Amino acid sequence: MTQAVIKNEQREFSFSEDEFRFLAKLVGELTGIVLAEHKTDMVYSRLARRLRTLNLSSFAEYCDLLQTEEGQEEIPQLVNAITTNLTSFFREAHHFEHLRDTVLRPLAASPPSPKRLRLWSAGCSAGMEPYSIAMTLKSAIPNLDAWDARILATDIDTNMLRTGVCGEYPLSEFDHIPPSLRGDVQRSKERIRMSESLQKRITFNELNLLESWPIKTQFDAIFCRNVVIYFDKPTQQTLFSRLADHLKPGGWLYIGHSENLHNVCDRFELVGRTIYRRIR
């Protein structure tokens, strides 16, 4: 690798342009995330922690490690470090209002036979999204115990999934939960914990959206929010078509506030702000 260095005067580790390009290419192959050059500082700050943990003295050593057999154990840590996990309970609240009023309450009023419901949080991060879905589900369907209702929560970041399984979050997150839905949230001086009744509705699994999906279910609704903004257009086209395949006809898709399906996938119709319905 060449030693064209990127603003290293005040950095702990040297970081060359070639090293950035190598890491960006590897991350793209592993996750589909596109790391443009303006992400250099972000990549440095997130991976510098890994260098310290591994007692490495440069990014050149880190890149070399990733190309060895032993370095394959580092790949999940690389992915975890790069993946963005900005999340909170009931983020983009209009999605949960739509889920409650347009999707769930009509089902509760005229339930299908059998009473089966499947929801998917794709890119669930630390689990706040699927728990928000679970709280919404419980509030919208009074006799929920009579239903076979499950939420699949998937993410590529194994650290975030462990947090979701644990179901514990900083006390500061309590204020993001509507007061009417706090009955399933146990509160202490420093933490909040999701109730067992919420946890039992959710299955957390590791899943790379670019790879094969061991999922045979068709879902009533899918949340895939703030995920595809890191993907190029062809990858987005492929992903949304695959999501359509896993939605029931007329099923609902919720995407991020800066995302849209215009010229990306024609299998959905826009029915609300970042809310789509499968039409074919």
Active-site annotation, residues: 46, 155
The CA distance from 17 to 6, in Å, is 6
- Residues comprising the chain, all counted: 280
DSSP-assigned beta bridge partners for residue 277 = 252, 269
Only one residue has tokens 């983009």, namely: 92
Q: Which two tokens stand for residue 61?
A: 């050593």
3-class DSSP state for residue 114? coil
The CA distance from 117 to 119, in Å, is 7
3-class DSSP state for residue 65? helix
Which residues have a Cβ under 8 Å from the Cβ of 244 and sit 6 or more positions away? Answer: 253, 265, 267, 268, 278, 280
Euclidean distance between the first and the last CA atom of the chain, given in angstroms as a whole number:
49
Which residues have a Cβ under 8 Å from the Cβ of 241 and sit 6 or more positions away? Answer: 265, 267
CA dihedral 157, 169, 137, 207 (to 10 degrees): 10
Cis peptide upstream of residue 114 (ω within 30 degrees of 0): yes
The rounded radius of gyration (Å) of the Cα atoms in the chain is 21
